[in-house]
Chains A and B, each alone.
Chain A
Amino acid sequence: MSIKQNNSNILMGFLAFSVAFPIIVVCSAWLLPGTELWGHFSENLLPELISSTLILLLGVGIGVSVLGTVLAYLVVMVEFPGRKWLEWALFLPFAIPAYVLAFVYLGVFDYSGYAQVWLRELTGVSGFDIRSGHWAIILTFVLVFYPYVYMMARASFKRQKIQMIEAGKMLGASPISVFWKISVPLARPAIAAGLLVTLMETLADFGVVSLFNYPTFTTAIYSAWGDFRSIEVAAQLASLLVLVAFLLIYFEKKARGKAKYYSSDVSNIKPYHANGLIGWLLFVFVFGVFMLSFALPMLQIIIWSFEKFTQEWNPRYLDYLSSTGILTISATVLTVFVATLLALPSRRKSNSKVLQILIRFSTLGYALPGSVMAVGLLYGVQNISLVSIYFGGSSINHILFGSVALLLFAYVSRFMAIAFNSTIASSEQIKPIFEQSARLLGASRFRLVKEVYLPMMTPGILAGALLVSVDVMKELPATYLLRPFGWDTLAIRVYELSAEGLYERAAIPALIMVFLGAVIMLLFNKLDRDNK
């Protein structure tokens, strides 16, 4: 290993460590003395919380994997009526913040929602409480998060070698057995990556679970902090989420085994044509998912927006828009930049085990509730200040607290998983032969990266940028705590209104966010096409 390589390993290690910094601070809460709160929690809260969290993860995991994979397979492999526009329309739910979708669903489907009122009037059945039990909240999460799996699986299906499928067909395999025996196994890493992100986000969610009043692990975290004023126990509990996420990543890697998934063929030919009734049935199914997860909630949001427009619209919205825009763009560029560096193929093979683990660890911020991570960051800065004061320097708190820089730092830490998953997925598909031939031709590492790796990783980098930008735009808890004066974003406006129960007014900033998200999505779709 050359000295250059060594230096760059150290540099990467430092980078990964920086990203992981808030997570490390949160985990270090175990160094603080425990409290009697643990006794109360483990007796009265944790048994129920753990079981309901596991049920939620299981339900959501199965739901998004099945729905996301089936949808992706259909739009890539099968020609059916409406396929073309549904293919990109299925991305759109991703633009709706989960808590917004949750309050729309509750407004429509809860006991007092008009869907249930209408059903009771029509059939005379008695109403039911959709917030009790597990299925309604699982369904909500599935409809919000399936695009993660859909997106990854779709990209993977598109890369699959058309010959394999053709061979399967010639050997007389039915579309369903081609799906099970060829397509899904090949797409497994992609599905697993989408699933991983979904599960982490479900673990960290606070908005949806509090609207449903569903007990999950975050309930205990917020109870420790908000009710018992123990930030230590809150951080200790939160670090358990980090542990779970780490295990999930471990199992994902394990399940993938040593298999390498190189592929390159891209084809626009659809192997299957669904004509007549079957084609229309497929259309109804895919269209139904689109209606439920996007069109109907949007319709409700648009109706509310019209009703409350004059009451809510004011010039401050220009500020919300510009803060949202600047933060989203800066955070996306930074996050994707760091993720690309960490995912470059030449690093992967040569770097040490420690570095690999550190890089993986740096992606765990996604499983932490945003506000816990944000406070971790504040405490981290405070500790640096204390060290600095000890050595005769001065505190840096007042410089960093409430600065855009710190907020951007939080975004990078929080959304590294999203960017890294995309960039590493594309990087893993680069065959080692490229590096070898470049070396043989005497190309410098810089040229190798610039002229070989970056172009080949572009789809992954763009996908990462898209996901991160939409996520940053929707982000609430960290922004709420860390933002500088006057930097209110659209997400904050949505929260402030809905926290006061003013859902109809909250529909206006929500609508603008969804619109922006949809524009980003379309932009991405265009780039995706141009790349071919």
Chain B
Amino acid sequence: MTKLKLILSVLVFAIFSTSFSTAVLAATSDSITVYSTRKEHLIKPLFDAFTSNTGIEVKYLTGNGGALIERIKLEGKRTKADMFITVDAGNLWYAASQNLFQQVKSEIINNNIPDHLRDPEGFWTGLSVRARTIIYSTERVDPSELSTYQDLADKKWKGRLCLRTSKKVYTKSLVASLIYHDGQKTTTDVVKGWVDNLAATPNAEDNHVMSAILAGQCDVGIVNTYYFGRLQAEKPNVALKLFWANQGSTGTHVNISGAGVTKHSSNKENSIKLLEFLSSIEAQKIYVELNKEYPASQKLKADNLIAQWGDFNQDKMNLSVAGKNQADAVALMQREGYR
């Protein structure tokens, strides 16, 4: 029985001490709290830099997009979240449509970040750009064969194409942008063509798409460039190359990671300061260094590795459209059996 008592008292102590410690933490007034779907190792360095500049402390909680949005919704007026950081324009658009954000009007942000990467009404702003484009085997593909995303549906790619799963937001937003440019009918044909051309079950990760091309399972794929950047940083001579898709037409599809200040933020002033900091050159540099993404700021040049991939024209479609079209895109892909 004494053993049991010991265990029980440890348990009670654990529960009380932790509820207590969260209460104390919440009491510090200047600090701000961020809910983020961007993973810890990609946001902590940014917050550390902000804290050392301003003295304002940043607490954060990482989680999955859908689940965190539900949590903020249910926490309502008493939410601890001052800011919500997430990847993919669709998620930002959805959070805004659920009334989780408040409008921020900041000259600093407007100067730093171009229009098409921001919400037209100022509810959220993009902070880094991820280009999603074609990648190919330098051993088996002549770049003159390549042109557009749509072209990958052509019969000549039969058994040569690898794609990432349709469940991933990056695929969803890409197809959403195709629907915006070409309409439902043409996009249906494109997706059907992709599925027919697949050499393997769609992969869970962009990394796996690249490994599959390297191993010879397929010759081309579509990936976010930073995955290739990471691979190239490890293996500079890897037999893969990026091809900028749709340069003759709509431009290469880009997505963003971004953030908004929550509607019920208890510290709006400092939250805007953080948002402004994240759009600054100093923070944008960290974004690029940490994850080989493109800066959202127009004022910063890409870093060496990224710069060697060359300049490209971005698709200038406002990214809130990708959010609006996402459900249609998923329904379309599910109809065509794109897993």
Q: Which residues of A contact B (CB under 8 A)?
A: 40, 44-45, 106, 110-112, 116-117, 127, 129, 131-132, 210-213, 215, 219, 222-223, 225-229, 231, 326, 329-330, 333-334, 371, 374-375, 378-379, 381-382, 395, 397-398, 401-405, 408, 477, 480-481, 483-488, 492, 496-497, 499-501
Measured CA separation A408–B327 after assembly (Å): 35
Q: Do the beta carbons of A127 and B215 come within 8 Å of each other?
A: yes
Measured CA separation A21–B125 after assembly (Å): 39
Q: Give A114 Cβ to nearest chain B Cβ, in Å.
A: 10
Name the contact of B200 in the complex, choosing from A40, A131, A210 (C-beta under 8 A): A131
Q: What secondary structure prevails in chain B residues at the interface with A?
A: helix
Residues of A within 8 A of B70 (CB): 231, 375, 378
Q: Do the beta carbons of B75 and A405 come within 8 Å of each other?
A: no
Q: Do the beta carbons of B227 and A229 come within 8 Å of each other?
A: no
Beyond known contacts A112-B217, A379-B74: 12 more, CB 8 A cutoff: A111-B200, A117-B215, A131-B201, A213-B202, A223-B167, A226-B167, A228-B331, A371-B67, A382-B74, A398-B75, A402-B80, A496-B41
Q: Do the beta carbons of A111 and B15 come within 8 Å of each other?
A: no
Name the contact of A329 in the complex, choosing from B10, B68, B76, B78 (C-beta under 8 A): B10
Residues of A within 8 A of B25 (CB): 485-486
Q: Give B155 Cβ to nearest chain A Cβ, in Å.
A: 20
Q: A132-B201, A229-B94, A326-B14 are in contact. Are A222 and B334 (CB under 8 A)?
A: no
Q: Do the beta carbons of B75 and A401 come within 8 Å of each other?
A: yes
Number of residues on chain B facing chain A (CB within 8 A) = 61
Q: Do the beta carbons of B330 and A223 come within 8 Å of each other?
A: yes
Q: B203 contacts the other chain (Cβ, under 8 Å)?
A: yes
Q: What secondary structure prevails in chain A residues at the interface with B?
A: helix
Q: Give A331 Cβ to nearest chain B Cβ, in Å.
A: 9
Q: A333-B8, A480-B63, A485-B25 are in contact. Are A395 and B212 (CB under 8 A)?
A: no
Q: Do the beta carbons of B18 and A213 come within 8 Å of each other?
A: no
Name the contact of B327 in the complex, choosing from A117, A227, A374, A405 (C-beta under 8 A): A227
Q: Give A504 Cβ to nearest chain B Cβ, in Å.
A: 10
Name the contact of B64 in the complex, choosing from A132, A371, A484 (C-beta under 8 A): A371
Q: A222-B167, A228-B327, A484-B18 are in contact. Are A111 and B78 (CB under 8 A)?
A: no
Q: Give A427 Cβ to nearest chain B Cβ, in Å.
A: 18
Q: B282 contacts the other chain (Cβ, under 8 Å)?
A: no
Residues of A within 8 A of B94 (CB): 229
Q: A129-B200, A131-B201 are in contact. Are A481 and B71 (CB under 8 A)?
A: yes
Q: Give A62 Cβ to nearest chain B Cβ, in Å.
A: 24
Residues of B within 8 A of A408 (CB): 15
Q: Which of B182-214 contact A (CB under 8 A)?
A: 199-208, 211-212, 214
Q: B59 contacts the other chain (Cβ, under 8 Å)?
A: yes
Q: Do the beta carbons of A378 and B330 come within 8 Å of each other?
A: no
Q: Give A308 Cβ to nearest chain B Cβ, in Å.
A: 11
Measured CA separation A519–B78 after assembly (Å): 42
Residues of B within 8 A of A231 (CB): 70
Q: Do the beta carbons of A330 and B11 come within 8 Å of each other?
A: yes
Q: Do the beta carbons of A501 and B63 come within 8 Å of each other?
A: no
Q: A112-B212, A500-B39 are in contact. Are A404 and B19 (CB under 8 A)?
A: yes
Q: Do the beta carbons of A397 and B165 come within 8 Å of each other?
A: no
Residues of A within 8 A of B253 (CB): none
Residues of A within 8 A of B214 (CB): 112
Q: Do the beta carbons of A404 and B74 come within 8 Å of each other?
A: no
Closest chain B residue to A400, Cβ basis: B19
Name the contact of B22 in the complex, choosing from A210, A395, A485, A497 (C-beta under 8 A): A485
Residues of A within 8 A of B55 (CB): none
Name the contact of A497 in the complex, choosing from B41, B61, B76, B206 (C-beta under 8 A): B41
Q: Which of B1-27 contact A (CB under 8 A)?
A: 7-8, 10-11, 14-15, 18-19, 22, 25
Q: B114 contacts the other chain (Cβ, under 8 Å)?
A: no
Q: Do the beta carbons of A333 and B65 come within 8 Å of each other?
A: no
Q: Do the beta carbons of A485 and B7 come within 8 Å of each other?
A: no
Q: B66 contacts the other chain (Cβ, under 8 Å)?
A: yes
Q: Do the beta carbons of A397 and B74 come within 8 Å of each other?
A: yes
Residues of B within 8 A of A228 (CB): 327, 330-331
Q: Do the beta carbons of B326 and A227 come within 8 Å of each other?
A: yes
Name the contact of A501 in the complex, choosing from B62, B78, B205, B217 (C-beta under 8 A): B205
Residues of A within 8 A of B78 (CB): 395, 397-398
Q: A222-B167, A499-B39 are in contact. Are A405 and B334 (CB under 8 A)?
A: no
Residues of B within 8 A of A381 (CB): 74
Measured CA separation A303–B292 after assembly (Å): 26
Measured CA separation A496–B40 after assembly (Å): 8
Measured CA separation A435–B217 after assembly (Å): 67
Q: Give A309 Cβ to nearest chain B Cβ, in Å.
A: 15
Q: A378-B74, A480-B63 are in contact. Are A501 and B22 (CB under 8 A)?
A: no
Measured CA separation A335–B11 after assembly (Å): 12
Residues of B within 8 A of A227 (CB): 167, 172, 326-327, 330
Closest chain A residue to B202, Cβ basis: A213
Name the contact of A374 in the complex, choosing from B19, B42, B67, B335 (C-beta under 8 A): B67
Q: Do the beta carbons of B15 and A405 come within 8 Å of each other?
A: yes
Q: B120 contacts the other chain (Cβ, under 8 Å)?
A: no
Query: 10 nearest interchain CB pairs?
Result: A112-B215, A112-B211, A227-B330, A501-B207, A398-B78, A496-B39, A129-B200, A111-B217, A404-B18, A131-B201
